[in-house]
Chain A
Amino acid sequence: MNFPVWEVPVLGGGMLIGVIAVVHVFISHFAVGGGLFLVMTERKAYSEQSAVLLDYVKRHSKFFMLLSVVAGAVTGVGIWFTIGLIHPSATSALIHAFVWGWAIEWVFFLVEVTSIIVYVKTWETMNRRSHIIVGWVYAVSSLLTLAVINGIVAFMLTPGDWLETRGFWDGIFNPSYLPSLVARTLIAVGFAGVYAFLTATRLEETAERATIIRYSALWALPALVLLPVALYWYYGVIPETAKEIIGGGIEAIESTAHYGMIAAVVLLLLVLVGPLLRPRSFSFGQALVLLVLASLSLFAAERVREAVRKPYVLFGYMYSNAVRVEDYERVEEAGLLASSKWLSVRAIDESNELTVGRELFRAQCMSCHTVGGYQDILPHLADRTVEDLEVILMDMPSFRGYMPPFAGNDQERLALARWLMTLPGPEARPLSEGGH
């Protein structure tokens, strides 16, 4: 409404954010837990005077840096780029409410990047004590970045008292801050162990190889066992509608949650029977399988977390179609044509009705839906009439559970319904090839 809309064909905007976010979340959690893993393993190598273990940490740290500083950091910026393109209003709100949170996180990020580069570059030149200190600086600063960003991510689902007070601390230390922080930290620590399998299984066949693999398994296990407890705690503080969605309100999300849990349980069991009990025969291929399972469960968790915010992009503050809750009535009364800056038409008449309908679709629906791609609108139009659609659009929340209300007046609703009915059947080609 306030911003132009970028049409993402096939994937849709939401899925585009999802793809980049999952890649980032997976690497960044690893980066956070990996910091602890590196420095504690280095200490262990010194105290046991194990040259093999020390050599292993060195090599692992290089792989670690190449993954976290390049792909991890850049995809993090990538999420920021993408949400700015797909949800500019929500991004703007998060930036305005939490500029100083982002700024503080940026300082930790700067320390994090500096320390990991110094850590990897000075294995041969720095004395042990200093090198361990650098390792700890990395571990702590990366945990601190999580501690800040977790507040902002948790805020999107549970803004808590911020909705009334608009206070910075109310927003950051919101109801799901703590459980979410604990869960994410456990994921981070657990995944560091799963990543360690990748580099450990590449070691030469020695007695130490098995020791390092078992050590990595022992590293991952406690976190993986405790994770369900943290998630249960988290589940307890999320909004009722979110629980409904997970409980079957949206079937796809319910099953995603189930598959995610199954993947996590299988992961746990495989860690037990594989690297822990049979470290000698544990192979690189099996380590990859564990990594895939871990990614699947994390993907599921993030997808569910994104979906349960419906119908909001910022819970209780802004609907996913970028209309602020407090503006909704005004827009409904005045109409979207009068409220939006980005429609080419100022008033509806017979000649331009379909143009308006299409632009309304772009403004109100395209942050989630596509025509012919992911979250396809076409199947929802099968066997409908214009009148059906008008009725549905009149009360979206009750007809289409967890969708935001249509923000527009009667005339606009009709225009949107008429345009929707001009769309071909569900099997037709995507709109982006000729919908203008």
Chain B
Amino acid sequence: MADFVVIPDVDPIPLPAPVWLLKALLLLTFLLHIIPMNLVLGGGLTSFVTEVLGRRRGSEYHLRLARSFARMIPVAVAFAITLGVAPLLFLQVLYGQLFYTSTILMAWPWLAVIALVILGYYGFYLYSYRWQRWRGVRLWVVMGSALLFMAVALIYSNAVTLMLRPEAFASLYHMAGAGSHWNIGEPTAIPRYLHFLVASFAVTGLFVIIYGMRQLRSEESYGRWALRYGAGWFIVATIVQMAVGIWFLVALPREVMMLFMGGSVFATILLGLGFLLPIVSLMLVLQASRALHPRPMAWTGIGVLAVTLVVMVLIRDLVRDGYLGGKFNVMDRVADPQWGIILIFALVLLGGLGTVGYLLGKAAAATAEAR
């Protein structure tokens, strides 16, 4: 019946900025979003595992780290949500006609995100605020929250990939149950989701390394332990990630995969970097975890992984436009830039980031002073 490709028309109101600018902001704000998002996604489960290990082995260090996680995760959730708003905005302005359609087709799970996030968020707060009083059940609470956020990630991953398959829209819509479709059947759906999930444990591991280095000053042995513990998470996750990444790559549609295998020089170089950089980072972190003076090597490793994140965000964007190739080219969109307001936004953004920096600096200084 509906064997034709249906893509809704783009909005007749022209884009209020050139495509390159909106795209740059989309990628930049997405990058900012995934750092706290990874901490939420990886931090919940890591915290659970760490506390279980601590209880089993009677390890003070494990429990102390879990306690620090409990304090940190709610803040990470706040930033993950806040920083997630901007990429969702720029995604809607550039790819709205695909995004709205995909989320309408999976409306129930999509809307459920709101409830899942609120529940999971309060769960993390309870884990933090009721640390003493809920000694018995707090493990279940943090596990529950971690699972809720893993479900949210699955829904997101589905929504933004279903969006790339306009050829499936019409038939899904005319099938029964419109509003509760998923994109699980698509060959990349599972490796893609795992790719994000595993990455979050690597990023969490890196944060534990940073945390450990900060502790070194006040308590050498705990700091060293945390550094090694974080390095363990990072190294294991990165090795698993290699396998998942290859799975993801070969699951891509042929024409998209070929972009990264010489079809496009830029894409091929990015993919090469995407394989190489984490290995470099892994070596550095491994060395740092054994070194007498771990800082230089650890920070270089973290820096290399930060570059990897940038590379991955760019690869993800190339995959997106690769999927849509021939069906919708975002670069063709008509723009009528509102330069005056763009300038105001730029000023507000600078002022805003400055204020955020000021606030965080004040908070850090106050904490340091209190010690």
Residues in A lying within 8 Å of B, measured CB to CB? 2-7, 20, 66, 69-71, 73-75, 77-78, 80-82, 84-85, 88-89, 91-93, 95-97, 99-104, 106-111, 113-115, 117-118, 121-122, 124-127, 130, 133-134, 137, 141, 166, 168, 324, 341-342, 344, 436
Contacts and interface: CB of A to CB of B under 8 A. Distances in A.
B114 A81 contact: yes
B81 A73 contact: yes
B173 A4 contact: yes
B110 interface: yes
B352 interface: yes
A241 to B, nearest CB: 24
A122 B16 contact: no
Interface stretch (B5-13, B270-278, B289-297): B5-13
Contacts of B75: 117
B348 interface: yes
Given A3-B8, A342-B6, A104 B362 contact: no
A341 B8 contact: yes
A84 B93 CA distance: 12
Interface stretch (B216-224, B247-255, B319-327, B353-361): B353-361
Contacts of A110: 82-83, 352, 356
Contact of B107 (A6, A108, A113, A114): A6
B113 interface: yes
Given A6-B178, A137-B355, A344-B174, A70 B366 contact: no
B7 to A, nearest CB: 8
Contacts of A109: 82, 85
Contacts, number: 189
Where chain A touches its partner, the secondary structure class is helix
Nearest to B113: A81
Contacts of B16: 96-97, 99-100, 168
Contacts of B210: none
B269 interface: no
B235 to A, nearest CB: 32
B97 interface: yes
Given A107-B352, A109-B82, A93 B11 contact: yes
A95 B96 contact: yes
Interface in B95-114: 96-97, 99-101, 103-105, 107, 110-111, 113-114
A338 B369 CA distance: 70
Contact of B104 (A3, A99, A121, A124): A3
Pick from B12, B110, B178, B359 the residue with the most CB of A within 10 Å. Answer: B359
25 contacts: A4-B178, A74-B118, A85-B100, A88-B101, A92-B96, A95-B89, A95-B92, A96-B15, A106-B86, A106-B89, A107-B345, A108-B352, A109-B82, A110-B356, A111-B359, A114-B360, A117-B78, A118-B359, A121-B363, A122-B363, A122-B367, A126-B366, A130-B362, A130-B366, A168-B338
A107 B349 contact: yes
The 3 closest A-B pairs by CB, nearest first: A107-B352, A88-B100, A96-B13
Nearest to B117: A74
Interface in B20-57: 22, 25
Contacts of A7: 178-179
Interface string B342-353: 101100110111
Contacts of A77: 81, 85, 114
Nearest to B351: A107
A78 B348 CA distance: 25
A96 B11 contact: yes
Contacts of B14: 96
B313 interface: no
Nearest to B340: A168
Contact of B101 (A3, A96, A126): A3
A354 to B, nearest CB: 16
Contacts of A89: 11
Query: By CB atoms of chain A within 10 A, which of B9, B93, B366 has the most?
Result: B366
A132 to B, nearest CB: 12
A5 B174 CA distance: 11
Contacts of B6: 341-342
Contacts of A2: 8-9, 97
Contacts of B169: 4
B266 interface: no
Nearest to A84: B100
Contacts of A92: 11, 92, 96-97, 100
Contact of A97 (B13, B114, B352): B13
Contacts of A73: 78, 81-82
Nearest to B4: A341
Nearest to B100: A88
A125 B366 contact: yes
A436 B176 contact: yes
Contacts of A118: 359-360, 362-363
Nearest to B12: A324
Contacts of B85: 77, 106, 109
A110 to B, nearest CB: 5
Contacts of B367: 122, 125
Nearest to A116: B78
A351 to B, nearest CB: 13
A141 B100 CA distance: 30
A106 B179 CA distance: 29
Interface in B156-181: 169-170, 173-174, 176, 178-179
Contacts of B149: none
Contacts of B17: 99-100
Contacts of A91: 92, 96, 100
A81 B338 contact: no
A31 B45 CA distance: 31
Nearest to B169: A4
